[in-house]
Structure 1
Amino acid sequence: MRTDTRGIMNFLPRKKWFGFGPRDQPQPPAVNNNTSSLTDGSPLPQQEEPQPVILTYEQMLQEKLLSEAGQLLIEKEERLFRELKESDAFTHHEEQVNQLKADRKALQDLVLQTLGQSLCLEEDSLAGLTSAVKAVMQEEDQDLLWKQRDQTPPSWRPSGWRKLHDSTLLSLVKERMENPSTPSACQIKLTTIQADITNMGRQLKEDLLSVVGGVKRCYPQEMDICNFYSKLYHQTLSASLMNIADFGLVDKDRTFLLRWVNEYYPEILAKPQLHSEIDSGPLGKLLPERLLKLLEDEYLSNQQGELTTIIRRVLGEEREKWNKGEEPETEDGCFFSPVAYDIIQLINGKVTSSTKVLGDPHKAQRITCHISKDLMDSYKSFQSDVIKQNKANSRSFIKANLDCIKQFSEVLNKERHLFTEDPQYRKLGTSDWLHQSRFKELLDVINKEGQDLQGSTESCHKELMGQLEQEVTVEYVRRLLKGKVKLKDKMQQLKAYLTVKDNAENLHHLFVQMGSEEDWLKEILFNIAEVLKLQDLPAIQMQVVLLGTDYPDLSEKHVLALLKLKTDLTKADRKSATDILHTLREIGSNTQPRSFFSLVQVK
C-alpha cells in the first residue's frame, strides 16, 4: 500500500499556522531584478526563492499541526465521498477509505492526548492545544455539513469530537481533583478530612487561574471555556464534599466544611482574575439545600450549646465568689463586675464567627435564639439570691452588678443585630403592613418580650422599656423608609396615614403599660403620618419644616425616602422640600434639639 504523501506547504516560521483568525500566507522574499552592483558595478548573484517544505500527514502529527492535519483529512474525505459516486467510493476505493479511517483514529488520539494535558502545558506549548481545539471545531463543522446533505455520510460521521472534548476535560478535572498537588507543610495541624478539602480547593484555584491565564487563549470566545471549566470543577468538588458530608463529621470537620462552602470557595471565585471571566451566579452552592441545612442546623445546635455552657460557667463563677464571701473587683474606687462584658464579648464572638461559617448573619443570629431569655432568667435568679440572703458582701455585689444591668439592657436593645430578628418586623413598610392583623402580631411579640424582661428594679425596668420603645420606633421608621410600599394616589396615602397613626397610638399605649415614659416617640410617627396624608406641596413643605425643627438630625436622605413613598410627587416637588430643609439648617433653631433620625439609616 502506497503511503499518502499529500501534505501542505509550510513556510517558516510555523507559528503562522496557529490561531483562530484568518491565516496569513507567508510571501516569498522579493527578487532584486537589478543585477548591477551599487558599489563596484559587478553583477549580484541571482537569489533563489526559498523552496516550500511539504509535510506529509505523519510529519504534521509529529509537529502537532493538528488542525492542518485534520483539514487534510477532511479534504480527502470530500474527494472520496463527494466528488466520486457513493458506490465507487466504497467499491473501488476501499483501501483509501480504510486508510483515511486509520488516519482519523491517529489524529483523534493525538487531539485527545493534547486536550488531556491542557492544564500542565508550558506557555510555549499552548500552540499545540490551540491547534487541537481548532481541529475539534473543524470536525464539528464537518459533522454539520454532512447533516445538511442528502447523502449517506461516512461511517465515522457524525464524529462527535465536541462531546469527546467535553468528556476528556471532565476526566482531566476529576483526575486532578482526586490527586491534587502535594500539600504544604502547614497542613500538619489539619485532620485528614480538612487536608483533603484544602488540597482540592487549592487545586481548583490553581487550575482555574491557569485556565483564565493561558488555556483561555487557545479557545474561540464562543466556547466560553472559562465558565465550562468552572462548571466542571464546581460539580466535581460538590460531589466530593457530598461524599465527605455523608460519611459523618465531627464538630471540627463540620465547621471546616461549612466554612469552605460559605466563605473560602466564594472568596476564590471572587478573585479579580477569576471574577472577570467566570459567572459564579449559575453555579450556586457547593452542597444541595437539604444537606446544607442539615449541616447548618447541627452546627448551630452545637454552637448554641457551647455558648449556653460558657455563660452558665461565667455566672456560676460569679455566684461562687459571692458564696465564698469574696468581694467583687474595684475600678477607680468603685465596685466592678466583668460578668456583662465577658458574656457580651462571648455572644458577639460567636455570632461573628458563625456569620463567616454560615455566610449569612441572619442564620448566625439563631445561635442567640433563647440566650436572651435564659440569660436574664439566670441573672435575675442570681441577683434575687444576693438580695434575699443579704450576706456581708451582698451590698458590694449589688453595686458591682448595677453597671452589668445597664450593659445587658444596651446589648439586648441597641445591639439587636446579635439576636434573632422577629419575622413580624419584616412586614413593616410592605403591602402586608397596611393590614392591621400584621401589626397586631408584632404587638403580641413585643408584649411577650416585655414580660420576659420583667423582674428588675422599677427605675431600671422603666429605662429598659424606654430604650426598647425607641428601638422599635427606629425600626418602624427604618422599614417604612425602605420604600417597599408605593402610595400611588390620595386614597392609598390616606390609608397609610391612618395606619401609621393607629400603629403609633397602639404601640405607645402598649409601652406605657409596660413602663415606658418616652411620650415623644409617638409624636414622630404622628408627624410622619401627616406627611403621608397631605396633598398640597406647601403643606408638605411646612410639615417637613416642623420635623426638621424638632429633630435637627433629620437629613435630606430621610426626607427624600419619605416623599418617594408618595409616587405622585415629582422629582422637582421632592427637591423643593429638601431645599426648605436646607434653608432651615442655615437659619438655625432655638428649640432644644433631640436626636432620633441619626439612628435611622437610609440608603
Structure 2
Amino acid sequence: MMKMMTFFQTSVGDHQTNPSMPPQYEPELSPTGRKPRAVSETESDTASLASSEDLSPHMERVSTQDKDEKKKKKKKKGIIKMFDVLTRGMRKKSHSGPTAEVPETVVKPDAPPPTVEELYSALKQERLEMAPHLLMLERALVQDTTGMNEEDLICQQSKVEALYTLLWSAVLRVVRRPLENEPELLLQALNVILEQEQEDQRVAAEERGPSVLATTRPRHWLKRWQENVKDSVEERMTRPPSAILDGPRPEGMEASSEAAQSFLYMGKTMKEDLLAVAQRLQPLYPAEFNVFCTYATCYHNYFSSQLTAMTQFELNDQDTSLLLLWVKNLYPNDIINHPKLSEELQAAGLGSLLPPKKTRKLEVDYISNETANVQELMMRGLALEVERWSEDEEPMNLEGYFHSELPIDIIQIISAAQVKADTRALGEQMKPLLMAKFSSFLKSYQQAFADFTEKSKPKHYRATIMANINNCLTFRTYTDKESKAMEKDLSSYIFHPLREIEQSGFNILLQNLFLALKSLFKRLTQTRWATHEETVAEIIKITSDCLPEFKALRKRYQEDIMEAIHLYLVKEYIIRLSKRRLVLRTADLQLNLADQISADAKNIQCFCAQNGSPAAWLEPALPTLAEIIRLQDTSAIKIEVATFASRFPDFSKGHLGAILTIKGNLSNSEIKSIKSILDVSTLLTDSSRSLFSLIKVG
C-alpha cells in the first residue's frame, strides 16, 4: 500500500487523471530535522492549528524514472484502496432523542475525497459535514502505515490533530450557545460528538499492537461537552455588578445583602435556564447526552459550591438566616418542586445545597440567635412600657377602653420570628422555644407590674392598672390560640403571671370600695338586722357609684370585676350571719330573720345581675341559708343542708354550726345529727367557685 503522506500532499485530480502516475511529492521534514510531534486537541488555535501553508502541497523535485517498480505498484494499490474508503457511503446511526432525529451525513459515492487543504478550508468555515471525511482520514492513517517511516507518520498525525482542533472549535461554537443556533446545525454538531464517542468505543474494542503514533483515542468529546456545559453554567451563574433584580422578593430575603442579591440571581437564572433546557433543548438532544440532568447537575453543583464556600467563614445572624432560607425553603420549593421542573429534577436526584452536618449546625445557630433576639426585643419593649408608667402618661383610650401597645408589640415579635422560622422549615422546632421565652417575658412583666403597684400612686395610677389588666386579655387570647402546640405545663406557666396581674389589679381597684362596704356590713350585726333594708340599700348605692370607672376595662373584665363585687357582697353578708351573736329561740323570730335575709338576697342578686355579674352560681347561697333558718323539722333541715353542700362543696361543719347557732331551739343532739350530713366529703373541683373557704368561723 502507498504511503499515507501521498494523500495529504497530492491532489485528487492528479490521481484521477493518471492513476498510474507515481507520487510527485515526498514528506517535508521539520526545519530542525527532528520528527514533528503530534498536535494535541487541547492546544489553542494559534499554537496547534496548522497554517494554510502547512496543509497545502509543497512541490518537490520528481524522483528519477528508474525507481523500483515494486514500490510503485504498492503505492498504486494503496491509492485505490484509500479512495474506496473515502468514497464509500457513510450513514450516521439515528439517535434516541425524544422528538428530533439527527440528519444523516452521506458521502456520495461519485464525489472525490477532499484534499487536506480543502478539509482545512471547510473546517475553518465551520462546515461540520466534513467531519466524516476527517474521521476516515484518521482511520486510514492509523490502519495503513505501510512504507512510511516514523517521522512521516508523526508529521501526518500532527496535521490530522490540527484538523480535529478546527473541528472541535466549530462544534464548540455551536454547542456552547445551543439556543442561538438553528436546530439543524445543533443536531449536526451533536451528531459529530456522538460519532467521536462511537469511534472511541470502536478503537477501545480493537486490539492494536505497538505503534509510533501518539495515542489520540479516546478523545472524550462527550465529556468535553459536559465540561463545556459546566463552564458555561458558571458564566451564567456569575452575577454581573450591573444586574438588577426586579419583582417581589421572597419572604425573609435581606435585600441589602450582597450575598442575598447573588443567591437570588443564581436561583432566578437556574430556574429560567432549566426551563429553557427542558422545553427547547431536551427535545433536540440525543438521549446519550442526558442533557437536562447534565445542566441541572452543573447548576446545582455551582450553587452548592457558593453556599459551601460561604460556610467556611464566620457567619453573622443574617448570613445564617440567608443560607437556611435557601437550603430549607427557596431552593427545594421554588426550584426543585417547580411545577414544570419537578419531575425531571426529582429524577436527577440533586439533593440538598449543603451537607446535612453543615445544615444542622446552621439550624442550631439560627435557633439560638433567633430566640436570643426575640427575648432581647421583648425585654426592650417591656422597658419602654415601664418607662411610660414612671412618666405617669395616661394610657391611650381605644374604643372606650384603656389601651397599651405592649401586647401587640410582643405578639408581633413572636409571630414574626415564627413566620421567619417557618420559611426555613424550622417552625415546629421554634414554636415551643418561643413560647418558653414568652412565658419568661410574662414573669418579668408580672414582676414589673408588682413593683409599680408598690410605689407611690401617681395621677394616672388607676388608669394604668386598668390598661395592664386589659393587656392580659390580649395575651390570653394569643395563648389560647397557640395552646394546642404547647405542653400543658407550659400553658399553665404562661397563664399564671396573667392571673397574678389580673387579681392584683382587681384588688387595687376594689380596695377602697370594699373598705367602705365593710363598715356597712358590720351595721347588720350591730343592729341585729333591724336596719337591714336601709343598710343593704346603702351598700348597693355606694357600689353602684363606683361602677362607671370600670367601664374603661374590657367587657370581659367588667364582668370579672362585677363577679368579684358580687362575691364580696354575698361573702360579707354570710360572715355577719356566722358571728354567733344572734340567737333566736322561737320559730317566729327565725321566720322573720329568714324573710329579711331572703329580701336582702333578692336585692343583692338583682343589682349584681343587672350590672353584668356572671356569678349566677352565687344566687342560691343566701336564700338557702334563709331556708335552713326558717325550717323547723330536723329531717327537712338535713335535706336542705345536703342540697346546699352539693352546690357549695367548701361548706363545712363549722360554717353549718355557726348558722345553726341562730336556731336557739335546737338541742345539741339535733345539731350533731344535722352536721353528720356533711360527713360525706365533697371535693371542690373549681377554685374559682370558692365561697365558704373565704369565710373563717370561730
CA distance in structure 2 between the partners assigned to 1:192 and 1:447 by the alignment: 44
Who is 1:379 aligned against?
445
Aligned partners of 1:116 and 1:172 also within 8 Å: no
- Matches of 1:400 and 1:310, distance apart in 2: 21
Correspondence for 1:454? 496
Q: Report 1 or 2 for greater relative contact order, CA contacts < 8 Å, sequence distance ≥ 6.
A: 2
Are residue 321 (structure 1) and residue 388 (structure 2) matched?
A: yes
Q: Is the contact made by 2:469 and 2:502 (CA closer than 8 Å) also made in structure 1? A: no
Residue 476 of structure 2 aligns to a residue in which SS?
A: helix
Q: What's the counterpart of residue 224 of structure 1? A: 290
Q: CA deviation digits over 1:241-281, x for unaligned, max 9?
A: 22233233444444344434444434244444444543377
Picking from 143, 148, 155, the partner of 2:200 is 143
Q: CA deviation at 1:319?
A: 2.1
What does 1:33-432 align with in structure 2 at a 5 Å threshold?
56-58=118-120, 60-62=122-124, 64-66=126-128, 68-79=129-140, 88-89=145-146, 91=148, 95=152, 99=156, 102-108=159-165, 110-111=167-168, 114-115=171-172, 118-121=175-178, 123-152=180-209, 155-178=215-238, 180=240, 182-184=242-244, 190-266=256-332, 267-275=334-342, 277-279=344-346, 282-356=349-423, 358-365=424-431, 368=434, 370-389=436-455, 391=457, 393-416=460-483
CA contact (8 A) 1:208 1:230 kept: yes
Residue 601 of structure 1 corresponds to none
Cα distance in 2, alignment partners of residues 325 and 191 from structure 1: 42
Q: Report the TM-score, using the length of structure 2 for normalisation.
A: 0.49
| TM-score, L = length of structure 1 | 0.55
- What are the superposed Cα offsets for residues 58-94 of structure 1, whole Å, 9 maximum, x if unpaired? 355245343x433333344555556x6xxx5585798
Match of 1:571 in 2: none
Note if contact 1:328-1:336 (Cα within 8 Å) is conserved in structure 2: yes
Superimposed CA distance per residue, residues 326-371 of structure 1 (whole angstroms, 9 cap, x where no aligned partner)? 3322233222333222211221122113322x24422443761631
Q: Given that residues 230 and 298 in structure 2 are in contact (C-alpha distance below 8 angstroms), is that contact kept between their aligned partners in structure 1? A: yes
- Asked if 1 retains the 8 angstrom alpha-carbon contact of 2:100 and 2:283, the reply is no
Distance 2:359 2:229 in 1: 28
CA spacing shift, 1:454–1:233, aligned 2, 3 Å:
same
Deviation of residue 140 (structure 1)? 1.7
Distance 1:114 1:249, change over 3 A: farther
Displacement of 1:308 after TM fit?
Answer: 1.8
- For residue 402 of structure 2, give the secondary structure of its aligned residue in structure 1: strand
TM-superposition CA deviations, 1:551-588 (whole Å, max 9, x none): xxxxxxxxxxxxxxxxxxxxxxxxxxxxxxxxxxxxxx
CA distance in 1, matches of 2:347, 2:375: 38
For residues 89 and 236 of structure 1, what CA distance do their matches in structure 2 show? 51
- C-alpha spacing 1:77/1:106, structure 2 compared with 1 (3 Å): closer
Correspondence list, 1:477-488, <5 A: none
- The answer (yes or no) to whether the contact 1:238–1:287 under 8 Å persists in 2 is yes
Contact kept? 1:180, 1:200, Cα under 8 Å: no
Q: 1:375 to 1:163 in 2, by over 3 A?
A: same
8 Å CA contact retained: 2:200, 2:219 = yes
Return the alpha-carbon distance in structure 2 between the equivalents of residues 148 and 137 of structure 1: 17
The structural deviation recorded for 1:118 is 3.7
CA distance in 1, matches of 2:284, 2:164: 18
How many Å separate the matches in 1 of 2:171 and 2:255?
38
Answer whether contact 2:394 2:464 (CA < 8 A) is retained. Answer: yes
Aligned to 1:566: none
- Deviation digits for residues 501-545 of structure 1 (CA, Å, limit 9, x no counterpart): xxxxxxxxxxxxxxxxxxxxxxxxxxxxxxxxxxxxxxxxxxxxx
Alpha carbons of structure 1 residues 454 and 415: separation in structure 2 relative to 1, 3 Å: closer
Letter in 1 for 2:381: V
Assess, with a 3 A threshold, how the Cα gap between structure 1 residues 148 and 8 changes in structure 2: closer, same or farther.
closer
Distance verdict in 2 for CA 1:406–1:384, change over 3 Å: same
Gap change, CA 1:369 and 1:275, over 3 Å in 2: same
> Secondary structure of 1:247's partner?
coil
Change (3 A) 1:8 1:302: farther
| CA distance in 2 between partners of 1:81 and 1:280 (Å) | 42
In 1, Cα distance between equivalents of 2:433 and 2:493? 22
User: Contact conserved, 1:114 with 1:128, CA < 8 A, in 2?
Assistant: no
Separation of aligned partners in 1, 2:232 and 2:105: 35
CA distance in 1, matches of 2:491, 2:386: 26
CA distance in 2 between partners of 1:416 and 1:351 (Å): 15
Q: Measured at CA, do residues 239 and 280 of structure 1 come closer, stay the same or move farther in structure 2, by a change above 3 Å?
A: farther
Note if contact 2:442-2:498 (Cα within 8 Å) is conserved in structure 1: no
| 1:278 alignment partner, SS class | helix
Q: Which residue of 2 aligns with 1:21?
A: 101
Query: Higher mean Cα deviation, 314-323 or 204-213?
Result: 204-213
Q: 2:446, 2:501 within 8 Å by CA — same for their partners in 1?
A: no
- The structural deviation recorded for 1:126 is 4.8
Which deviates the most, 193-202 or 312-321? 193-202
Letter in 1 for 2:101: G
Partners of 1:296 and 1:25 in 2: how far apart? Answer: 57
Q: Percent identical across equivalent pairs? A: 23
Partner of 1:414: helix, strand, or coil? helix
Aligned residue identity for 2:126: K
State the one-letter code of the partner of 1:166.
Answer: Q
Q: Give 1:374 shift.
A: 1.2
Q: Tell me, in whole angstroms, the C-alpha distance in 2 between the residues paired with 1:363 and 1:119.
A: 46
- How has the CA–CA distance of structure 1 residues 159 and 90 changed in structure 2, closer, same or farther, with 3 Å as cutoff? farther
Structure 1 residue 205, shift from structure 2 partner: 4.1
Whole-angstrom distance in 1 between the partners of 2:344 and 2:447:
59
Preserved CA contact (<8 Å) 1:57 1:69: yes
Amino acid at match of 1:130: L
Following TM superposition, by how much is the alpha carbon of 1:231 offset from its aligned partner in structure 2, in angstroms? Answer: 0.9
Distance in 2 separating the partners of 1:365 and 1:90: 85
- Are the structure 2 counterparts of residues 159 and 89 from structure 1 closer, same or farther at C-alpha, using a change threshold of 3 Å? farther
Question: How far off is 1:382 after superposition?
Answer: 3.0
Q: How far does residue 227 in structure 1 lie from its aligned partner after superposition? A: 1.4
Matched-pair contact (CA < 8 Å) for 1:208–1:229: yes
Alignment: residue pair count: 400
Gap change, CA 1:409 and 1:146, over 3 Å in 2? same
Q: By how many angstroms is 1:220 displaced? A: 0.8
Letter in 1 for 2:163: A
Alpha-carbon distance between aligned partners in 1 of 2:438 and 2:344, rounded to the nearest angstrom: 46
Q: Over aligned residue pairs, what C-alpha RMSD do you find?
A: 4.3
C-alpha distance in 2, partners of 1:293/1:25?
A: 55
**Would the alpha carbon gap of residues 407 and 334 (structure 1) be closer, same or farther in structure 2, given more than 3 Å must change?**
closer
Instruction: Give the counterpart of 1:2 among 9, 15, 20.
Output: 9
AA aligned opposite 2:313: F
Q: Distance in 2 between matches of 1:374 and 1:459?
A: 15
What pairs with 1:555-566 in structure 2 (closer than 5 Å)?
Answer: none
Residue 20 of structure 1 and its aligned partner are, at CA, apart by: 6.3
